[in-house]
Structure 1
Amino acid sequence: MSNLMPQPWKHPKLGTYYFRKIVPPHLREAVGRLKGRKSLTEIRISLKTTTLREAKLKYPEAVAEADRLLLQAADGHVRLSHQQIIALAGLWYSRELKAHEAEPGDPEAHDIDLSLLESAMDEGDGLKKGKVAKIIAEDVDSILKQESLLIDGASRADLEERIFWNKVALLNTLKRYADGDYRPDPKLKTFPQWTGAGKDPPKVPVTGPKVSSLYALMSKERRHAEKTVYSWTRILAKLTDYVGTEDAKKITDIDIIGWKDSLVASNLGPKTIADRLVVVKSFFRWAKANKHVESNPALDVEYKPKHDPSKGKRPYTDAEARLILQAARDQREAHKRWVPWIAAFTGARIDEICGAMVSDVLLEDGIHVLRIDPAYREVGASVKNPGSVRTVPLHSAIIAEGLLDYVKTLPKDGPLFPKVKPDRFGKRGGNGSKTIGRWIREKLGITDPLIQPNHAWRHRLADECRKLEISREVRFAIDGHKLADVGDQYGLGVPLKVMAEAVAKLPNPLAAEEALSTETPQ
């Protein structure tokens, strides 16, 4: 398989290694615009070395850079630097002034417009952002359309505010012109030149260790899974793109706070923002502990959004559980047939179930179980935390459904769900989760946004255990939650027999309904 993996390309004349990637046809104009060109058919990044070994080390950074560019082109939203925002707002001002200087209009009409702008001000407390966005939207849209530009939420918010104040200045200037005072406008000299969004803002020179290089060391030391490396590399790259430097020693707490504020302004979900900050905090904590930087700039950065109860997650109701389990019986795709049933009575994560091997379904001490342990699974398998490595008893309802008969039809040394293709990280859970999620939402009609189609089983198991007064420690042993108390980690853990007794108590959502259907009419 290694021969099929992408490799650095050696320039036949220069001898320098490059990263090369063909740009999909539908993105060529967008990628070209981002790079200051009309169109671009290929992304080519110099790895700046003639040594293959060094080129391979630099290759992941180039992959991440190319992925960032393609993602940015795909959704069409670019982030503008502070200088670019000032320049773009200045371009709007200059064009509007030129368009109206010959006929500056009625001063009284301008006073009315200024009053409307004034209404977008709090009483001495600054701008009412919602009103600013509404009152200035047409002006912002016009300049973005003229420049064929889509920008992200944070950039738009900054541009709205800048154009707001420029419009106040413009109306006052036009009033002056209308009164016959055409003295040169000094404001025109304050704007930097607009060179387009494809021109990257100047980077701060890198004299210290690069963030990407340090993370390569960190990920190797901590043996991060490929998916983790991919995710963390992208998040750290977003930070360095925002700051304008890869120099880990030059990134300050003010930089990270500014980045955090830009994430909030772009309307990302609180969990997404919190997860990104966890990555940055963990990275700089490691860099400080290993003496790569003198201080941790992320140490005191806080993010505590107000919890919105309406955006919580809920478990499946009894009716929803019955609907899914009943429908699963009719599915020909094995993972849709069996994953919901296993998840319903174990609370296991979808990746834990989809990634299972046939040999993971076994008999232990007379109890049918599902073993969840990366050591026995395909290369690249992992679990969320040490507590996730476990052996889970299988409920009698799953056995009665015929799981063991299905297992007997498969090669003993193969995966439990061989037709679920591994994703780019070698895991079957990603694709399995997507297809089951779509099936539940699109085919079964369970579309409540508070439900995560696969994770809702874990929430349901927690509630069922509470109803049955199954202890928290036993529940954590079943569903693989991380132990919260150090004392809980002493000893050998919850015995399999105790777990099996708890699992046996869990009610089958279909049992009552089927019991009624089999009763003999009187």
Structure 2
Amino acid sequence: MVLRMNRPHKRPDSTVIYFRKRVPADLQKVVGKKVEKISLQTRDPAAAKVVHARIAAEIEARWAQLRRGVITVSQKQAVAMAGEIYRELVAAHEDNPGKPTDWVTKLMMDWAFLKPEKVRVFKMGMAPEKTEEFFEKMRMNRNGQIVQAYLDRKGYRVDHESLVRIKQAANAAILQGREQIMRNAGGDYRADPEATRFPSLEMSSQATASGEPLLGQRSPLDVFDMYAKESKLSHGTIKRWRPIMARIQEEHPRLSDITREWCLTWKARLVESDLDNNTIKDAYLASLRSLCNWAVSNGEMASNPLDGISIKGSKKKKTRQQGFKDSEAKIILEATFDTFSSTFSAQHAAARRWVPWLCAYLGARVGEVGQLRGADIKQDEGVWLVWITPDAGSTKDENARYVAIHPHLIEQGFLSFVDKSGSGPLFYDPRRRRGGSDANPQSKKIGERIAKWVRELGVDDPDILPNHAWRHRFKTVARKVKMDVGTRDYMQGHVPATEGEAYGDFPPDVLLHEISKLPRIEIGQAATSVQGHDDALTDTGTKISA
């Protein structure tokens, strides 16, 4: 196969000759187009070949530099880049510099910041703080377009700190260049004695003999997978965050493509998309911030482009209590005694019968209840306990904990149900699994089905969550009956209220004593009744004095 060489290009309807070359697929997002097309400014084929060769070399160098991703530039390199900007500026005006007065006007702003003795500055305006804000912005960014054009032309993508260094060096170099042009405009073409202060630009090459991806050159998804594995992110977190990284990778094939400026634009786009501020803050920004923090600590990035970027979370107005009212709890718990459809599996029927009661009396998350196995129901020191463990699926903090079984659950026959179910999952059959993944386990479906069922029962207030409301209700009732705070928080898997509360353990009899303070929820009466209960049950179900 004969490869077609890139050569000067002429459109059929024009005599002007162009450079035209397709942008490599991996750079099209960064470059912003699929084809580079540049006029060679000539109709002479011989001259076009020379210009074409120069532009081709420049384009290839630019693409090679773009592939290096975001780089960190030293102070010396920043001054060297400023020197290139200085020489380009002087050369562009050397033959026809114009009048000296033309350059005085352009130098006013530079003098104001770098040679204030040459000018007097009067900050005017009806809002002094706005004027001062504008003045300070111009201190750094007055030549920002010139700097950005240079970086884009060369293919340099730099981190935020490097950009600041380059702008500072360029501001001084541009002032020096404009003063030299002003002297040229006055007829003085002597060489600038200060021009030798700029060092030559030396950019270290990045290459690996092994062919492994360079640090900072891996894709966001590749780095995320490394981060998730090392940090042992939960399946749920990976499921929420990885799609965000995939969307970011569509815009930036390399992690090092991500800059502070892009992050600000990205955040603005997310706000414009009408996403809730809490979703932007806790999902989008949090996921990328965490990834970049890990990348920095592992040499994949020089700095975190999200540092200093945040968004104010939105607070949802509370129009009612977050937990179930007694009337709502009654509707749900009474329905657990209904006869269910014959099409239900035994596990599905068991979930409707027991999951709401367990949520009411354990204070656990519905996901933690849904993943319970028969082996997780244990007796210790004569007390029946539920062992909530990540071994069964997951817990929010990846820690295991015991919760004592409320006497009312035992009276209803929960232990008998567990005994008949065996040591495996209580509320789903692993043999009925259809595909799925660790991020979307069977046990998760239990909570989803229960929530849908609760809504169908008429407990459909949109201001409460149909499963999580049990946790709020548990906390509320626990406060009413003066349950020990440390024990209550431990059983619910909450962070201890104080560092001191984290000390020591929670013996089974203590857990039973505290859980037994919860009033029995009596079903079958006109309304949910509350009766104090501070008795304990032995494993035989016999009442004994607490």
Q: TM-score, normalised by structure 1?
A: 0.54
Report the CA distance between 1:472 and its aligned residue. 2.9
Per-residue deviation at 1:313?
A: 7.1
Distance 2:462 2:375 in 1: 36
Q: CA deviation at 1:322?
A: 1.1
> Which residue pairs with 2:50 in the alignment?
none
Separation in 2, partners of 1:317, 1:355: 26
Q: Is the CA contact 2:385–2:404 (under 8 Å) kept in the aligned structure 1? A: yes
Q: How many residues align?
A: 304
Residue 488 of structure 2 is aligned with which of 469, 475, 485? 475
Alpha-carbon distance in structure 1 between the residues aligned to 2:321 and 2:287: 23
Alignment equivalent of 1:382, drawn from 394, 410, 418: 394
1:466: which partner in 2? 479
CA distance 1:313–1:296, change in 2 (3 Å): farther
Separation of aligned partners in 2, 1:494 and 1:514: 38
Looking at structure 1, the residues matched to 269 and 218 of structure 2 have their Cα atoms a distance apart, in angstroms, of 25
Decide which structure has the larger Cα Rg and report it.
2
Match of 1:356 among 372, 382, 392: 372
Change over 3 Å in CA distance of 1:344–1:282 after alignment to 2: same
Number of the residue aligned with 2:449: 435
Q: Quick one: distance in 1 between partners of 2:406 and 2:331?
A: 19
Alignment of 1:7-46 (within 5 A): none
Partner of 2:405: 394
- The counterpart of 1:287, out of the listed 274, 284, 295, is 295
CA, structure 1 residues 407+445, in 2 after alignment: closer, same or farther (shift >3 Å)?
same
Verify: 1:255 aligned to 2:262, yes or no.
Answer: yes
Instruction: Give the SS at the match of 1:371.
Output: strand
Secondary structure of 1:509's aligned partner: strand
Instruction: Look up the equivalent residue of 1:451 and give its one-letter code.
Output: I
Structure 2 equivalent of residue 307 of structure 1: 315
Distance 1:290 1:418 in 2: 41
Residue by residue over 1:446-497, the C-alpha shift from the partner in whole angstroms, topping out at 9 and shown as x without a partner, is: 1111111111101111111121222332111111113364444333x33332
Alpha-carbon offset, residue 311 of structure 1: 7.3
* Secondary structure, counterpart of 2:222 in structure 1: helix
Which of 414, 419, 424 is the equivalent residue of 1:414? 424
Match among 357, 364, 373 for residue 341 of structure 1: 357
Classify the secondary structure of the residue corresponding to 2:309. Answer: coil
Partner of 1:501: 513
Structure 2 Cα separation of the partners of residues 282 and 240 of structure 1? 16
Query: In the TM superposition, what is the alpha-carbon distance from 1:301 to its structure 2 partner?
Result: 1.5
Q: Alpha carbon RMSD of aligned pairs, Å?
A: 2.8
Shift in Å, 1:417: 1.5
Shift of 1:358: 0.8
Structure 1: tracts of 5 or more residues without a match: 1-205, 518-522
Letter in 2 for 1:355: Q
Deviations 1:9-33, CA, capped at 9 Å, x for gaps: xxxxxxxxxxxxxxxxxxxxxxxxx
1:49-73 CA-to-partner distances (Å, cap 9, x unmatched) read xxxxxxxxxxxxxxxxxxxxxxxxx
Structure 2 residue matching 1:299: 3-state secondary structure: coil
Equivalent residues of 1:358, 1:414 under 8 A apart: yes
Distance 1:303 1:273 in 2: 8
**1:515 Cα offset (Å):** 10
Query: Within 5 Å, which residues of 2 pair with 1:150-161?
Result: none
1:270 matches 2:277 = yes
Task: Provide closer, same or farther for how the CA distance between residues 286 and 312 of structure 1 changes in structure 2, counting only shifts above 3 A.
Answer: farther
Specify which of 445, 466, 469 is matched with residue 456 of structure 1. Answer: 469
In structure 1, the partner of 2:165 is: none
Q: 2:324 aligns to what SS in structure 1?
A: coil
Runs of 4+ with deviation above 6 angstroms: 514-517
Task: Find the residue that maps to 1:392 and give its secondary structure.
Answer: strand
Give identity over the alignment, percent. Answer: 31
Q: Deviations over 1:400-458 (max 9, x none)?
A: 11111211222x3321113486543362331101110110001x111111111111101
TM-score normalised over the length of structure 2: 0.52
